[in-house]
Amino acid sequence: MSYWRMRPKSLGWLELKIAILYDRLRWEEKAILDALKSRGVEVEMVDAKVKVAVQGKLRGIGDIVLNRCLSHFRGLYWSAVLEAEGIRVINSFWTSLIGGDKLFTSLELAKAGIPIPKFVVAFTVEGALQALNEIGLPAVVKPVVGSWGRLLALLRDHEHARAIFEHREHLEPILHNIFYLQEYIEKPSRDIRSLIIGDEVVASIYRYAPQGEWRTNIALGGKAEVCELSEEQCEMVLKAAKAIKGEIVGVDCLESSRGLLVNEINTTVEFKGAFSATGVDIAGKIADYLIKEAKK
């Protein structure tokens, strides 16, 4: 089956159908599903790996679709198909396109005047080596598309950098031939993730790197603790979300000598760690936002 439908026993005062587009059913998708069901909403779970997108036959999929695909490109293309059918998707195709690509995100954030780490981009190994002269060492090379800290490398010298660049030159897909280089930020062994829903910062956490690791991803074994943002910092992360028209996103920031810098934005953000650390019912807040938007 490509999808299944969850109809609560009583729809109560609200008869809505909301679809969750997914390709792996993680803790977060289950939590959002439970939150919607508890609010009397009919939920259609759409497996993006199996469901066939037939033009003209997707209208009944839901009043609104929440894109929770782990695969950037699968979710992106599904969003394009759904929006072409006039179906509202959160986050939108444009938001997923920009937020799912680190270079595109950096360009939009810079355009909006939001503080970010310095970055350069090159398209050949020799170009990437020259780019290091612009940004300095140490530096970080990242795939433009990817999550969980995979394929990030900390470059400490040109010899090491050349080896990394030449290896990536032969990787598939072709996106690995886009060398996105970022200055290395001297910071505490942590970063800050803020969960944004609509116009609200619903939770913020410190993500601490595991011992012996410079990356702070929870997926790599990092731990989460509550972070209290100042009013000014809240305004900055909200501005970052708005720069990519994000409705439900995670904004990752780095503490630096220049102040807080927005590092990345995640458009299908995981929040189990944030829920465990803060106790905030993030899934419930997502459900409430979806219901509000579906009623429009």
Residue pLDDT, tens place only, 132-145: 999 999 999 999 99
Give mean pLDDT, residues 103-120: 98
282 contact partners, CB below 8 Å, separation of at least 6: 31, 195, 197, 202, 203, 271, 274, 275
Q: Tens of pLDDT along 33-75?
A: 999 999 999 999 999 999 988 888 888 899 999 999 999 999 9
pLDDT at 217: 62
Fold for the domain defined by 119-183: Dna Ligase; domain 1 (3.30.1490)
Q: How far apart are CA 272 and CA 224, in angstroms?
A: 10
> What strand order describes the sheet that includes 42-47?
3-6, 42-47, 17-22, 64-67, 89-90
Superfamily (CATH H level) for 101-106+187-284: ATP-grasp fold, B domain (3.30.470.20)
187 contact partners, CB below 8 Å, separation of at least 6: 254, 255, 256
Give mean pLDDT, residues 153-158: 93
**CATH code for the part of the protein at 3-90:** 3.40.50.20
Give mean pLDDT, residues 65-87: 96
- In the predicted model, what is the mean pLDDT of the chain? 91
Domain ranges in the chain are 3-90, 101-106+187-284, 119-183
The pTM is what? 0.90
pLDDT at 91: 98
Task: Give, rounded to a whole angstrom, the gap between the first and last alpha carbons of the chain.
Answer: 31
- CATH fold match for the domains 101-106+187-284 and 119-183: no
Find how far residue 119's CA is from the centre of its chain.
Answer: 19
Q: Tens of pLDDT along 204-241?
A: 999 998 776 666 666 566 789 999 999 999 999 999 99
Lowest-confidence pick of 52-61, 77-86, 155-164, 188-197: 52-61
pLDDT at 189: 86
pLDDT at 241: 99
Q: How far apart are CA 273 and CA 41, in angstroms?
A: 26
Give mean pLDDT, residues 250-268: 96
Q: How far apart are CA 206 and CA 189, in angstroms?
A: 10
In three-state secondary structure terms, 171 is coil
